[in-house]
Structure 1
Amino acid sequence: MYRGIKRLIDIVLSGLAIVCSVPFWIITIIGIELSDPGPIFYKANRIGKGNREFSMYKFRSMRVLRETKKGSEASLRPETDRIFPWGRVIRKLKLDELPQFLNILLGDMSIIGPRPVAKDQIDLFRFGKYDEAKKVKPGISGPAALYDYIYGDQFEEANVDEYMKKVYPTRRELEYVYVKKEGFLFDTWIFFETAWCVILSIFDKENTRLLNTLIAMAQESNPNLKG
C-alpha cells in the first residue's frame, strides 16, 4: 500500500512542481544560454531500482567540452573549473534538479529516495548490504543527498581522496539507512528538511542540526563510522 500511495503522490507532486516552477525553468534556461550557449539539458546514465539503467535529466551547469574527455562518466566531485557562474547559482538553489521531475513522471525516480548511482560507480555504492538500495526507486532527495549537500559539496574535484575518506562512507551508509527507514513519516521529514536546507543556503547558512542528525543515523547503522 505504501509503494502504491507513494507512486500516486510522486505523480501528483511532480506534475504540480513542473507546472508551478515554469517561471524558474524559463529563467534557468535563459541564464544557461546567456552564460554558456549550448545544450540546455544534461543527460546522465544512472542506475535505478533493480539496477536498471535509465537516463537522468538535469539542467546543464558546466561549460560544453570542446574536445572529447576520457575517463569516468561522472566524478564523485563536480569539476569546479568547468561550472559557469550561473551554473553555480542553479546548483546552490537546486534548480538544476528540476528536470528530474520528468524522470519521476516516467517512473524512473521518486521524490524521496537514495540518489541514483552513475553507471561506472555501481561498484562503489552497490555491494554487500548496500545493494539493498536497489530495492527502492532513487530519489531527488534523501538522507545521503542532504548529507552531500550540507557537507560533501565543500570538497572540490581536486579533493576526491579527502572526499572518499571523510564523506563517502557516511553517504553510502545513509543510502542503506533510507531503505531501512523508508515510510510516510520518514519521507515527509526528508521533504521538509530538504526545503529548509535550500532556504538556508540562500542566506549562506549551514543546517548543522540536520548534519549532526544524519551523522548520528549513519553511526547508529554502522558504529564503526567516524563523525
Structure 2
Amino acid sequence: MYAHYMKRKIDFVLALLGLIVLSPIYLIIIIAIKLDSKGPVLFEQVRMAQHKQAFKIYKFRTMRTDTPHNMPTHMLAHADSFITPVGKFLRKTSLDELPQLLNILKGEMSIIGPRPCLMNQKDLIVARDEYSANDVKPGLTGLAQISGRDELPIPVKAKYDGDYCQKITFVGDVKLFFETITSVLKHDGIKEGKSNTQERESIKFRRI
C-alpha cells in the first residue's frame, strides 16, 4: 500500500514544502554560483529513471563548463581541478542536490530510492538488474548512500539498492532520511576523483 500509493503523495508534498522553505537558500546559492564562475546555475545531465527510461536530473553547477559531461565525478582523474570554489562547498554539504526536488515534483524521482545512474554505467545497470533495482523510481538518497556512497564497489552498491527495493516501508524511508542527514553532516563516503581500486575496476570492465 505504501510503496504503490502513499509514497508518491508524500514525496510530492515534502518536495513542495522543501522548495518553499528552502527558497532563501536557493537564492543565496544562485548568487554565489554566478559570482564564482562563468556558466549556468543549473547542471542538467541525462540519468536513468524507473524501468531504464531516460530523464534529465537537475543539480546546482559545481564544476567548470569544460568538465567531461557523461562521467561520474568520482571516476574522473584530477576531479578537484574541475570543481569551482563554491562547488567544493556545495558538494561537501550535498547542497548541490537540492534542485532534484524539482525532479521529485515532476514524478521522475522519489526522496528515497536507488541513486539514478548515468545511462552509460552499464556495469552498475547490469548489477542492479539482478535485484530488480532498476524497476524502482530513483531517489534523492538511498541505502547505498548511507552505507558508503562512492567508496562502495559496484556489486556491493547494487546489493544495497536491491535490499532496499525488496522491502520499501514508511518506517524504513523515515529511518533512511534521518540517517542521510547524519551521513551528510559527517561527509561520509564522498570521493572526488578516481581511486586506484576504481581504476582497476574500470580497466577490468573495459576488458570484459
Report the TM-score when normalising by structure 1.
0.75
Amino acid at match of 2:120: D
Amino acid at match of 1:181: K
**1:181-215 CA distances to partner (integer Å, 9 max, x unpaired)?**
211111111001011222334xxxx59xxxxxxxx
SS of 1:44's equivalent in the other structure is strand
- What stretches of structure 2 of length at least 5 have no aligned partner? 190-208
SS of 1:61's equivalent in the other structure is coil
Q: Quote the residue 2:70 is aligned against.
A: 73
Deviation, structure 1 residue 128? 6.8
Q: Quote the residue 1:175 is aligned against.
A: 161
Which contiguous aligned blocks of 4+ residues in structure 1 show a shift greater than 6 angstroms? none
Q: Quote the residue 2:93 is aligned against.
A: 93
How many residues are paired up?
Answer: 185
Asked if the contact 1:41–1:60 (Cα under 8 Å) also holds between the matched residues in 2, the reply is yes
Change (3 A) 1:131 1:42: farther
Deviation, structure 1 residue 130? 3.3
Aligned equivalents of 2:159, 2:73: Cα separation in 1: 16
- What stretches of structure 1 of length at least 5 have no aligned partner? 153-165, 208-227
Asked if the contact 1:148–1:167 (Cα under 8 Å) also holds between the matched residues in 2, the reply is no
1:178-217, aligned counterparts within 5 Å?
178-201=164-187
Change (3 A) 1:128 1:169: closer
Identity of aligned residues (%): 37
Asked if the contact 2:42–2:59 (Cα under 8 Å) also holds between the matched residues in 1, the reply is yes
Report the TM-score when normalising by structure 2.
0.81
Asked if the contact 1:36–1:64 (Cα under 8 Å) also holds between the matched residues in 2, the reply is no
Q: Which has the higher contact order (CA 8 A, sep 6+)?
A: 2
Amino acid at match of 1:25: Y
Q: Quote the residue 1:160 is aligned against.
A: none
Asked if the contact 2:128–2:161 (Cα under 8 Å) also holds between the matched residues in 1, the reply is no
Deviation, structure 1 residue 125? 2.6
Q: Alignment RMSD, CA only?
A: 2.1
